[in-house]
Amino acid sequence: MEQRPYVIIGGSSAALGGIKGIRSVDPERPIVVVACLRSVQHGFIGFVGEPITPRDTENERPEIERLTHLMTADLEQLIRQYPEQYLWMHDRWKVY
C-alpha cells in the first residue's frame, strides 16, 4: 500500500486526500485557489489566491506534494479568516 504524504493544517497532521487529483504538473498551467464568501454588507465577496506555478520536473510526486501543501495553506487561511463559512462533507482531514 502506498504511503500517503501529510500536511499540517490547524496544527494537526492530515493525510493528503487529493494527491491523485492533480493529473499533470505543467508549468504553463498555474493553480489558483478561488472562493466565494458571504458578506452581510456586499452579498458575496470573492477570494482569488496568488497563482501557484508548478515547477518543471521529472519527478512529479514531490512537486504534487509541494503544490498540495501550498493549496492547503491558502485554504487554511480562508478557514481561519471565515470559520463560520467552512463546511466539508467528507473526511478530507482523516488520518489513515
pLDDT tens column, 61-87: 888 888 888 888 888 888 889 888 887
Q: What is the pLDDT of residue 94?
A: 60
Task: Give pLDDT, residue 50.
Answer: 93
Residue stretches of the chain with pLDDT short of 50:
1, 21
Dist CA 8 CA 67 (whole Å): 14
pTM of the model: 0.71
Q: What is the pLDDT of residue 64?
A: 83
DSSP summary character for residue 44: E
